[in-house]
Amino acid sequence: MPRPRTFDEDRAIDAAMRLFWTTGYEATSTQDLCAATGLGRSSIYNTFTSKRDLFDRALRRYVEQFTAVQLATIEDSSLPIRERVRRILWTAVEPAPDDPVGCFVINTIVELGSKDREVGALLDRDHEAKVAALAAAIRSAQSAGELDPHQEPIGLANYVFTVLGGLRVAARRGADPAGQRAVVEAALRVF
């Protein structure tokens, strides 16, 4: 009869998410995962079957959490479109204090996106959903007279997420917060 689990699986996934976010998939060892989660090797392998399974679950958790926040911001029609875009971009300027620097998705795209079709497909679907939602919000803002109706909504939405990715990469390399704020202000001039 197997022993019952004595740990919180969600907490272990969150700890692994932060570790993979910081160091990447390939640079993270099983021993690193044991230290981060507080679990032994057997608990990790019995619960998650492999480092890759734990990585996949951690990445999906990140995507679900951060995409939900971004979509809630995008869909908040009580805010002008410029403020919604500012809030999305500002997450790279002033991230949550306990979050690792940068973006787990961007880091994963750079590390695995071109050589791992499954990861690439997950991240593509996530990006496409956010771009589609922001493009729809931009179309609504254009209809309401908030934005120039001649601007291409999909192009603007892609622009916002490209700037966001650039801000997160710059943060990872230690960019100056004043410079990051200036980039956001420049991007907002489009809106």
What's the confidence (pLDDT) of residue 114? 82
Q: Give the residue extent of every domain in the chain.
A: 59-188
Residue 190's nearest CA partner among 161, 145, 159 is 159
State yes or no: pLDDT of 7 exceeds 80. no
Q: What is the pLDDT of residues 9-36, one digit of tens each?
A: 999 999 999 999 999 999 999 999 999 9
At residue 52, what is the residue type? R
Per CATH, the number for 59-188 is 1.10.357
* Whether the predicted pLDDT of 3 surpasses 80: no
Q: State pTM to two decimals.
A: 0.89
The gap from C-alpha 129 to its chain's centroid, in whole angstroms, comes to 13
Cα 45 from Cα 146, distance rounded (Å): 53
Instruction: Name the H helices within the chain.
Output: 9-23, 30-37, 41-48, 51-74, 81-93, 104-108, 117-143, 153-172, 177-188
**pLDDT above 70 for 54:** yes
| pLDDT at residue 125 greater than cutoff 80 | yes
pLDDT digit string, tens, across residues 151-177: 999 999 999 999 999 999 999 999 999
As a whole number, mean pLDDT of residues 38-49 equals: 90
In 3D space, the residue among 147, 175, 144 whose CA is nearest the CA of residue 160 turns out to be: 147
pLDDT at residue 113 greater than cutoff 90: no
Q: Please give the pLDDT value at position 1.
A: 47
φ and ψ of 147, to 5 deg:
-130, 155
